[in-house]
Amino acid sequence: MTWSFLSWSPDDAAGAVYDVTVPGAWEELVDFYAGEAGSRPLERVVELAREHGVRRVVVEQRHLDHDWRSEHGAFHGRLFRRRPSVCHRWHLFTDDVPDDLSRLRPEAYRGYVVLRPLPSTPVGRTMIAPPPGLAGAVRCEATERVSLFGHPLWITAMPFLSQDAEYLRCAHATLWMVLRHAHLAHGLPRRLTAEVHDAALGGVIVGRQIPSEGLSVQQMLAGATRLGLSPGLMHLPGTRDEDAAADAAAPPAQAPPPGSGGRAEPQAGRLSLRAVLCRYVNSQLPPIVISRSHAWVVVGYRRHPDDDRRVTLWRHDDARGPYLEVDDPFAEPEDAHRPWQTAILPLLPAVHVTAERAEAAGRLWFAGYLRRADDDEPAARAAAAGELTFRTYVIRSDDFLEGLLARGVDPALADLYRLAALPEHVWVVEAVDRAARREGGPDVVGEALVDATASTHHEPLQEGLVALHGGRLAHRIGPDHLTRRDLQLRDPGHYRTGRPGHR
């Protein structure tokens, strides 16, 4: 299926309004853009729009999309069969929209979808609100301001893009999604699709580069690094038995082994799939998962109410669509998703310490704290009942400090943190009372703050601890003179998590 220039832009109108409550309206739209071949990502977008109760689709008929123009200039515009350099963009509204577009209510806006003039792979840059089923889950997302015919609109979502199967493959699309999110959520420079393609060229290749036959893991790491991230790489458990063994390997808090010099190290190869991925979703750093033949982005998770050790994951799969539920990674129905082999962890350049090392440092401190804690302190009670676990995330120090009182943190503890000298980013290792978490209330009973730029080689990792709280005990440590200020809390209790992905 191809479009002539005139049929792709049928007239000079700025936009058209489609009433998708009319039977067959969605099907006609999908048929125009995807034709007989169909498009699973576009069909998934329509499914999400239906879940949101979308009533009107406003179509910009001549949208100048920077990502498509970058691809068009690098590849599609050089082909013998010409393709338009402009896109269409759907805007999704849950209420009625007048034909003259004089009224667009921001509260009814559910996002946009850029449609490229590509047969069977039309879905370009997309920001669509997560489905109602993701309410209450921990999600990676960011807010984008959209201007539509003079009306300001806002959408909070995780960016999505599908491959075109020629210039962009799944590896390029996942890198773009992560980088677009980093731009919106963390202020990194915006990267266009052609920049992603070019940054991943060379090195250990798996086939032709143009047209692309895909990328190696090494090319993906190199591309992410060149475009401003500092990615890590973690191998994932290959079977359910390996995952269960990793889950049971480490007790909630333990002292370092003899002869370790006080160094806290994560046990390589002994981390469960959930433990690896959830820490980065907590941190608004969506991990890329790679199987034998495909790649996708993990964008959210939710714990099961009856078993908080079990989680449901959600992914953006460029070949299948956004916000797809994954109930069991070890029982994937499609070959492309089997097995989950490796995770690329898109750390920010200012974050040198990994989540695994930060959590190891926090566990080490809590092991010492529990040996001297009073039996009635919340963390000690949780540990005695076998209900103590840990939640780890990285956050900007300013955001951490500004959110303290809203979380129910003791005002004296908030003041201790507020007047501390902190780095730009800190890893927060929260001690969590599982019983309180299952009840849905505040569940944090202490936390360790780790300098995100602490040395990972020349010092014991606990030297990166800058502030700590466990029950009645709290203290902070100055970075230059190592001045320690202690605080004794009279009546320690539970408070809410500060992770940025919490919903």
Q: How many beta carbons lie within 10 A of that of residue 482, not counting itself?
A: 8
- SS3 string, 252-312, reads CCCCCCCCCCCCCCCCCCCCCHHHHHHHHHHCCCCCEEECCCCEEEEEEEEEECCEEEEEE
pLDDT of residue 469 exceeding 60, the answer is: yes
Bridge partners for 474 per DSSP: 469, 487
> Quick check: 427 pLDDT over 90?
yes
| Distance (Å, whole) CA 223 – CA 292 | 20
At 6, is the pLDDT very low, low, confident or very high (cuts 50, 70, 90)? low
Dist CA 298 CA 234 (whole Å): 14
Please name which of 59, 47, 124, 52 lies closest in space to residue 91, comparing C-alpha atoms.
59
CB 41 within 8 A of CB 80: no
Please, what is the end-to-end C-alpha distance for the chain in angstroms? 42
Q: What does the DSSP assignment read for 333-357?
A: SSGGG----EEEE---TT--S-HHH
**pLDDT tens for each residue of 235-277:** 999 899 989 888 766 555 544 444 444 444 444 446 899 999 9
**What are the residue ranges of CATH 3.90.70 in the chain?**
234-345
CA–chain centroid gap for 357, Å, is 20
Q: Output DSSP code: residue 32.
A: H
pLDDT category of residue 503 using cuts at 50, 70 and 90: very low
Structure tokens at 107: 């509260």
C-alpha closest to that of 180 among 341, 66, 278: 66
pLDDT tens for 95-120 read 999 988 889 999 999 999 999 999 88
372: number of Cβ within 10 Å: 9
Identify whether 339 is preceded by a cis peptide bond (ω within 30 of 0): yes
pTM of full prediction above 0.85? yes
Rounded alpha-carbon distances, angstroms, from residue 350 to 102, 373, 424: 45, 34, 8
Note the pLDDT tens digit of each residue in 213-224: 999 999 999 999
The CATH architecture to which 234-345 belongs is: Alpha-Beta Complex (3.90)
